[in-house]
């Protein structure tokens, strides 16, 4: 599984790595795409198109939002990126290659907790057995109340 974009590696390395990833995926390694890829590896976890746009825009001022979306689409098609709709208006994008995990979303404070995929395997197995349905969800979101908010129950803790 090795960290695809060398999460810890130096920026230049990430750059070269990005170029290779794009080429391997049969995509042209344009500066825009490389940057989006780097942005994804920099903001590991989950990012909205808007956040990516800002990150990338900071180092390539001319870039257009539409390009970011088109790149994310291409990367998703190439299997390099996954999209997750956490139900909060904006889709979250994430690099594939990081350990599979799902999310617990706190409805009070918006906190995100990651749950390793392993916890879901039994359920997925059962679903496969009982319904013949093969889950491909790389990201699942479960809404609820996080430990923190559970304590100060009535507290206002909005996002």
Partner DNA sequence: ATGGGTGCAAACGATTTGCAACACG
Partner DNA sequence: CGTGTTGCAAATCGTTTGCACCCAT
Residue from the set 64, 107, 126, 137 that interacts with DNA by CB under 7 A: 64
How far is 11 from 78, CA to CA, in rounded Å? 23
Instruction: Report yes or no: 5 and 97 within 8 Å, Cβ to Cβ.
Output: yes
Sole window of 7-15, 28-36, 121-129, 151-159 interacting with DNA (rule: CB under 7 A): 28-36
| 79 interacts with, out of DNA, a copy of itself, none, CB within 5 to 8 A per kind | none
How far is 17 from 25, CA to CA, in rounded Å? 12
What character string, x for contact with DNA (CB under 7 A) and - otherwise, covers 70-109? xx-xx--------------xxx------------------
For 48, phi then psi, to 5°, come to -90, 160
Least CB distance to a copy of itself at residue 107 (A): 7
Between 73 and 125, whose beta carbon lies closer to DNA? Answer: 73
Between 12 and 156, whose beta carbon lies closer to a copy of itself? Answer: 156
The yes or no reply on residue 119 touching a copy of itself (CB under 8 A) is: yes
The yes or no reply on residue 112 touching a copy of itself (CB under 8 A) is: no
Residue from the set 120, 152, 155, 157 that interacts with a copy of itself by CB under 8 A: 120
Tell me which residue of 65, 94, 79 sits closest to 24, measured CA to CA: 79
Residue with tokens 């974009």: 5
How far is C-alpha 43 from the chain's CA centre? 9
For 1-38, give one letter per residue: b (16+ CB within 10 A) or e: eeebbeeeeeeeebbebbbebbeeeebebeebbbbbbb
Interacting residues with a copy of itself (CB under 8 A): 85, 87, 104, 106-107, 113, 115, 119-120, 122-124, 126-127, 130-137, 140-147, 150
């Amino acid at each position: 599984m090795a960290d695809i974009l060398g999460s810890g590696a130096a920026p230049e390395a990430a750059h070269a790595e990005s170029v290779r990833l794009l080429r391997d995926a049969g995509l042209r390694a344009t500066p825009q795409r490389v940057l989006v890829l780097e942005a994804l590896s920099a903001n590991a976890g989950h990012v909205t198109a808007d956040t990516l746009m800002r990150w990338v825009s900071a180092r390539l001022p001319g870039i257009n939002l539409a390009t970011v979306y088109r790149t994310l689409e291409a990367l998703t098609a190439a299997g390099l990126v996954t999209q997750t709709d956490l139900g909060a208006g904006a889709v979250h994008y994430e690099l594939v290659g990081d350990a599979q995990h799902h999310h617990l979303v706190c409805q009070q404070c918006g906190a995100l907790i990651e749950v390793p995929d392993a916890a879901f395997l039994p359920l997925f197995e059962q679903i496969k057995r009982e319904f013949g349905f093969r889950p491909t969800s790389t990201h699942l979101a479960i809404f609820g109340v996080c430990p923190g908010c559970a304590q100060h129950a009535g507290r206002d803790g909005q996002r």
